[in-house]
Amino acid sequence: MRPLIQTLIPSGHSPSDCGEAYAPANIALCKYWGKRDEALKLPRTGSLSVSLGAFGTHMRLLPAKTDSLCINGMEFPADDKAHRRLFGFLDLLRAPDFRLRVESRNTIPMAAGLASSASAFAAAVKAMDALYDWGLDGRTLSILARLGSGSASRSVYEGFVEWHEGVDPTGMDSFAEPVAPVWPDFRVGILTLSEAEKAVGSSEGMKRTVETATLYRAWPEQVARDLPEIRRAVLCHDFPALGRTAENNALAMHATMIAAWPPVLYWRPETVAALHAVHQLRAEGVDVYATMDAGPNVKLLFLAPSEARIQEIFPHMQTVSPGDG
Ligand code: DP6
């Protein structure tokens, strides 16, 4: 993979004393679920997300004698999973004998049940770009971030972002691009329903789904319908269409996981209760929709005027304004 990556990075640049960058977390409205190439993290379909503004990862990279990782003030030893994954990724981008001190700070509330891997890998690529002054464009940053975690390809941008699946076996046409800025009233509500570590990670969950779930055959067709509709709804601020398509897309993704064997069932009783409460609110005329990733927690999509009523039903909801950078 390294030779492929080297074609994207300008040669002859020396590192400076420090490279610093920020990348937001993101939530997919049309999900990425299933790879066509595991190593290059090439997806079977496109996806579309909204970045979470000020919720994300700040990262500083400092040339050092040995590799070390500090996240939110805590040191992570070399045999830790997070350490191995991050430095395994940085190895793709750096000279073999070059060591780094990584200082990372997540502004995503720790208990929010939001994956920080997307913002972490996107911030890592941007910080490497700053450290070496490579001047990489968004497309290249996105391709490189994708190699850390598929959803990180979308976290190099703010706003609504689309990741094109591409067709090239090298992955050079599989990158994300901005679709539109977030409109000011758009809100994401985070419901933390369980903080237990999930039994099946997203990479393993999607692999198992692709390999064992006959329902997965219907997934590309679902995305082929949902992605253009969500893109249209984003561009013309058609919130009800955006919300219902995003909720249906998330539930369809979970249906494919549940149909895998062994089943990939992330839902807890609290997850189902929250979905029923969302449907009850809609029956009352409140425009609120749910989405979920590879875990039991639910994220709500709504517009600012509905916030007070939704907060009454979900007092612990944390609200994000994705448009606030
Ligand atoms: C359900 O990007 O975490 O959140 O590419 O294997 O690192 P890898 O997977 P990851 O998967 C995210 C899956 C999802 C949907 C999405 O974000 O589109």
Domain 2-180 CATH class label: alpha beta
Statement: 186-320 belongs to CATH 3.30.70.890: yes
Residue 323 pLDDT class (50, 70, 90 cuts): confident
> pLDDT for 294-320, tens place per residue?
999 999 999 999 999 999 999 999 999
Tell me which of 202, 204, 253 to substitute to probe ligand 1's pocket, judged by most ligand atoms within 8 Å of the beta carbon: 202
Region label for 3, one of left (φ > 0), alpha (ψ between -120 and 50) or beta (otherwise): alpha
Q: Is the pLDDT of residue 109 over 70?
A: no
Question: Contact at 8 Å (CB) between 212 and 325?
Answer: no
CA pair distance 177, 303, nearest whole angstrom: 24
Question: Contact at 8 Å (CB) between 48 and 227?
Answer: yes
> pLDDT for 222-271, tens place per residue?
999 999 999 999 999 999 999 999 999 999 999 999 999 999 999 999 99
To which residue do tokens 């409460």 refer? 277
**Ligand 1: distance of its center to the CA of 181 in Å?**
22
Residues with CB under 6 A from ligand 1: 28, 31-33, 41, 47, 115, 117, 149-151, 202-203, 293-294
The helix/strand/coil state of 308 is helix
DSSP state of 216: G
Residue 116 pLDDT class (50, 70, 90 cuts): confident
Do 2-180 and 186-320 have matching folds? no
36 HSE (CA, 13 A, CB side): 14
Domain ranges, ordered by start, for the chain:
2-180, 186-320
CA pair distance 25, 304, nearest whole angstrom: 20
Element spanning 15, H or E: none
> pLDDT for 5-62, tens place per residue?
889 999 999 999 999 999 999 999 999 999 999 999 999 999 999 999 999 999 999 9
